[in-house]
Each structure stands twice: as C-alpha cells, then as structure tokens.
Amino acid sequence: MPIDFEIPEEIKNQSNLTQMVAEQVMRKYSRYYDEREHERPWEYINFIWPFMKSMEAANLKRSLRQSHNGHNGHGKNGGNGKKKQSTFQVGMIHLIENLSWGDAGIYLCTPSSALAGAAIQAVGTPDQKERFLDRFTHGGPKWGAMAMTEPHAGSDTSAIRARARLDPETNEWVLNGEKIFVTNGKLALEESDGILVVWATLDPSLGRAGMRPFVVEAGTPGVIITKQEHKLGIRASDTVSIVFEDARIPYDNILGDPELKKTEAKTTKGFKGAMKTFDSSRPWVAASALGIARAALEFTRDKLAEEGISVPEAAPYHQLSAIQRDLLQMEADLKAAWLLTIRSAALMDAGKPNSLEASMAKTKAGKVVTSITQKCVELLGPLGYSREYLVEKWMRDAKINDIFEGTGQINTLIVARRILGYTRRELK
Ligand SMILES: Cc1cc2nc3c(=O)[nH]c(=O)nc-3n(C[C@H](O)[C@H](O)[C@H](O)COP(=O)(O)OP(=O)(O)OC[C@H]3O[C@@H](n4cnc5c(N)ncnc54)[C@H](O)[C@@H]3O)c2cc1C
C-alpha cells in the first residue's frame, strides 16, 4: 500500500491544537509532576477532556457505522462517488506524538478509553461498544485501562492465572486473581466512572485459547487496588496492582465468544483478541516514543547550535565531526521510525492487516528513543545530566517504550516469525 505523505486538513488542525497544548500546558508542569509522582495533572486533564470527548464520540460513531456496514476501513461517501478513508489511527499518531513531546507521563494521564477502548473496538459487539464506550463521550473526565500482566505472566501471556468462572445460579462471571503494572488502573476504577478490561482464563489448561477479556466497571465490589508503583520514568502516569476477590461481572461483560468450543484447544481465538488490540496500541506506543525522542533531539540541536555546532547543509560525510554525524544519525533514525509508525497506522485506517508493521514500528521506535535520549544526555554533558533541564527526564521516560505492549525482544521475535514464516513454537 502506498503511503500518502499529505497530512489531511483535519489532522493538521488537530496537530496545531495538540502542539499548542504540549508547549503551553504540559511543558510548564513537566518537572512538577515528575517530582510528585502520585499527584494528578488536573490542569492538563481538564483542558484536554472536551477535545478527547469529541474524538471519542466521532470514533464510536465511525466504528458503529463500520460494524453495521461490514468493516472496510472506509468512511461514508465523500459526495463525489469516492469513499473517504478513515484517518483515525493516523490522527492518533500525530496527537500522541505531539502530546508526548510535551510530556509522556502527563500524556498517559489523558482521559480516554485508551487500551480498554482498543480492546472493545477489536473484539466487542456493536452493543458492547455502545454500552461501554458511550460514557467517554459525555460528562466529566474518565479513563479506560487494560490489565494483562500478572506476577507470573508478562511476555508469556498464555501463563495468566486470573480465573473467570460462570456462576450458573446468577449467570455472572466470578473473577479471581492478581494483575500488576496496570496503567491508569486507579484513575479508571477509583477516580472516575471508568472501565478496566481484564484478561482472564476460562480454563488454564487451554493456554492462550482459554483467554478472554472482561469489562470491569468502576465500583465493582471485590476489585481492590493494592499498590501504586514508584517508577524510573513517566512518573506522572498512574500504575497500580489490582486484586480480584470473587468480583462479580455481568454475563454480557465478556468480550467475544463466551463458549469454549470442543475444538478450542486447537485454536487461539481468545488470544487473537489480544493481538488485535496490540495492532492499534503498538503504533500508539511507538508514537509516544517518537514524541520524547523529538523533544530531546530538538533541545540538543538548539543547545549545540548556541555553541556554534550545527550540521552544514550538503557537506560531505567525511568532513563532518563526530557530533555532527551523531546528529545526522539521530535524525535519520527518528525519520525511519516515524515512517514505520505512520505506515502501521495507515494500514489500519485502510482496514488492512498491520500486525507485522505495528511490531516493526514499536521495536524501532523503542530502540530509537532509548538511543537518542541517551546520546543527547551524552552530547550535552553536565547540562544533559542536570535536573535543571528535561533531557535527563526524557532519558528516564524513554525506556518504558521498549518494555510495555511487548518488549523490544518480543516484538523482534514477532517480526522475525512473520517474515521468515516460523510458528510461535518454531521460533521462541
Ligand atoms: C510502567 C509500566 C506500565 C505498564 N502498563 C501495563 C498495562 O497497562 N497493562 C498490562 O497488562 N501490563 C502493563 N505493563 C506490563 C508490561 O507489559 C510488561 O512488563 C511486559 O510485557 C514485560 O513483561 P515482564 O515484565 O513480565 O517481563 P518478562 O516477560 O519476565 O521478560 C523479562 C525480560 O526477558 C525478555 N524475554 C522474555 N521472553 C523472551 C524471549 N522469548 N526471547 C527473548 N527475550 C525474552 C523480555 O524482553 C525482557 O527483557 C506495564 C509495565 C510497566 C513497567
């Protein structure tokens, strides 16, 4: 599929707004919330919520229309006989990149359906989309979160032990287990009328095939937040552990097929739902990484320019100094990761498979942001290491992008398997 490099008008307008929010609202509070980890950036939350609400409303409308028409990635007829392609995912990439340029930790506090929304969009029925996502289109700020990781199950999601049993008397699911490192878990469950998508197993002996996502609504008894993390970076972001003790969930809150078919042991139907969620969330993480990397590179370039160091245009490579070569390399890496990210999102907007491209973008962006921010600290010396500037913070904020939504190693494995045609069992 060719990439359209022209940025649609509606995305340009949105980009101008988010860049302005990033510069004038987020940067102002960056250091403050980095130092006060468990305080909430309400100035930002209240400012961005009306905009996020309208985005959620437009996305829900588009998704319901697609569900009714059969998904083809295209919006309604633009009036000239040609169907208008959705730009939602590409728009999200621009939005997340800009906001993360402002501050990646504060960006993660953006009220939205987030990963819960991605899971519901990926495997929910039209009725479930309306029932769970409509709340994000009105009222006060709300958060969605997703819980997969457990103390004994990280990269290997098939090892999850959280269990969902059907109580035949009440026709409710009963959830038990523990989830750790849940981004926005407290915001979703205790600080708003939000939702948490929890991955649990109907039958642990089935591995991936037994996994299903369940929507847990704020205020559900038996859902207990047990720990708030203290982190290296993205410290403004809310990260918690959650225990489920006989938490009762309505029957209709299971996403996807509730039946375990006789042939289920041979299929990975439940797990495919998780993979579909990652197809949209991995490009989002890549975009966040790129926002941090751009922030660090721009700052470093400006500081070096003040010292008279810049890259002369069209100079032969062998005439450049080591610092000038570093600057060029960082720019090239950033552009490469950006193009992979835009491509993975554009494929999704076109209704085409993007799992390979999403993992490629996530791997590349995770590596690029880690190396660029480290190099920036190195090039600026004490100025890079000092807390007077944000470069040291960007270096700390960077690393998470190489960890969550599948680590760099796991996404590299996915890319290798897909390119070389190996199964999960053949290449692990
Ligand atoms: C701040 C933060 C927020 C998070 N938010 C969420 C969230 O909202 N929801 C959620 O469900 N989870 C969340 N996570 C969890 C995150 O997704 C996991 O940490 C991640 O999937 C890795 O799992 P693990 O930590 O158990 O590492 P492990 O799986 O134990 O891996 C440890 C190391 O071994 C490597 N490794 C593992 N298997 C292989 C292999 N086969 N080949 C090569 N290398 C391998 C990994 O790449 C990694 O470097 C969050 C984590 C953090 C730190």
- How many Cβ atoms sit within 10 Å of the Cβ of residue 20? 12
Cβ atoms of 189 and 224 within 8 Å: the answer is no
Confidence label for 6 from pLDDT (cuts 50, 70 and 90): confident
Do 126 and 184 fall into the same domain?
Answer: no
Q: Against a cut of 0.85, is the pTM above it?
A: yes
Q: What is the DSSP letter of 324?
A: H
Determine, yes or no, domain membership for 376.
Answer: yes
Distance CA 401, CA 288 (A): 8
How far is the centre of ligand 1, averaged over its atoms, from the C-alpha of 402 (Å)? 9
Final residue in a domain of this structure, among 217, 242, 262? 262
If one residue of 407, 412, 422, 426 were mutated to test the ligand 1 pocket, choosing by the most ligand atoms within 8 A of its CB, it would be 407
pLDDT of 318-330, one tens digit each? 999 999 999 999 9
Domain boundary at 197, 227, 262, which?
262
| Ligand 1 centroid – CA 191 distance (Å) | 26
> What is the separation, in whole angstroms, between the first and last Cα of the chain?
30
The domain boundary, picked from 192, 227, 262, lies at 262
In this structure, what CATH number is given to the domain that contains residue 326? 1.20.140.10
Choose the residue to mutate in 181, 184, 285 for probing ligand 1, maximizing ligand atoms within 8 Å of C-beta: 181
Residue 403 Cβ contacting ligand 1 at under 6 Å? yes
Within a domain: residue 362?
Answer: yes
Percent of the chain with pLDDT over 70: 93
Alpha-helical segments (H) within 235-321: 269-306
In a domain, 3, yes or no: no
Residue 254: φ, ψ to 5° = -80, 135
For residues 269 and 267, give the distance between their C-alpha atoms in angstroms, rounded to a whole number.
6
Same domain, 98 and 185: no
Same domain, 104 and 177: no
Do 277 and 414 lie in one domain? The reply is yes
Q: What is the reported pLDDT for 79? A: 44
The whole-number pLDDT of residue 269 equals 61
- Shared domain for 33 and 86, answered yes or no, is yes
Residues 370 and 241 in one domain: no
Beta-bridge mates of residue 201: 163, 211
Q: What is the DSSP letter of 70?
A: -
DSSP structure class, residue 245: E
Q: Are 379 and 287 found together in one domain?
A: yes
Q: Which entry of 10, 172, 405, 426 is annotated as an active-site residue?
A: 405
**Each residue of 13-48: pLDDT tens digit?**
889 999 999 999 999 999 999 999 999 999 999 999
Distance from C-alpha of 239 to C-alpha of 235, rounded to nearest angstrom: 9
pLDDT in tens, 251-273: 999 998 777 654 455 556 667 77
279 lies in the same domain as 411 = yes
Tell me how far the alpha carbon of residue 86 lies from the centroid of ligand 1, in angstroms: 32
- Is residue 426 included in any domain, yes or no? no
Residue 262: the pLDDT is 45
Confidence of residue 68 (pLDDT cuts 50, 70, 90): confident
Specify the ligand 1 atom closest to the Cα of 115: 8
Mean pLDDT, the chain, rounded, equals: 92
Structure tokens at 410: 């796991």
Tell whether 150 is covered by a domain.
yes
Q: What is the pLDDT of residue 257?
A: 74
Does residue 328 belong to any structural domain of this protein? yes
Question: What is the model's pLDDT at position 267?
Answer: 56
Q: Rounded distance, CA 280 to CA 351, Å?
A: 12
83 bridge partner residues: 77
> To which residue do tokens 């225990």 refer?
243
For 242, the 3-state DSSP assignment is strand
Q: Are 334 and 406 contained in the same domain?
A: yes
Q: Could you tell me if residue 381 is inside a domain?
A: yes
Please return the burial class of 69, using the count of CB atoms within 10 Å of its CB with bins 0-12, 13-18 and 19+: exposed
- Taking Cα atoms as reference points, which of 262, 265, 136 lies closest to residue 201? 265
Domain holding 304, by residue range, is 271-420
Residues sharing a CB contact under 8 Å with residue 297, sequence separation 6 or more, in sequence order: 327, 330, 331, 334, 372, 376
244 forms beta bridges with 177, 223
Q: Which residues contact 50 (CB under 8 A, 6 or more apart)?
A: none
Are residues 44 and 25 in contact, defined by beta-carbon separation less than 8 angstroms? yes
Number of domains in the chain: 3
Above 80 in pLDDT, residue 394?
Answer: yes
Same-domain pairing of 51 and 104: yes
From the alpha carbon of 234, which atom of ligand 1 is closest? 1
How confident is the model at residue 77, as a pLDDT?
47
Tell whether the model's pLDDT for residue 359 goes beyond 60: yes
Region label for 256, one of left (φ > 0), alpha (ψ between -120 and 50) or beta (otherwise): left
74-79 mean pLDDT: 46
E strand or H helix that includes residue 171:
none
The mean per-residue pLDDT over the stretch 183-203 comes to 97
64-78, 132-146, 398-412, range with the lowest pLDDT = 64-78
Look at residue 83 in the predicted model and tell me its pLDDT: 61
- My answer on whether 217 and 329 are in the same domain is no
Within-domain flag for 428: no
Task: Write the burial class of residue 82 (CB in 10 Å: 0-12 exposed, 13-18 middle, 19+ buried).
Answer: exposed
pLDDT digits (tens, 9 = 90+) for 115-166: 999 999 999 999 999 999 999 999 999 999 999 999 999 999 989 999 999 9
Which residues have C-beta within 8 Å of that of residue 371, sequence separation ≥ 6? Answer: 330, 333
Q: Does 74 lie in the same domain as 48? A: yes
Q: Is the CB of 407 under 6 A from ligand 1?
A: yes
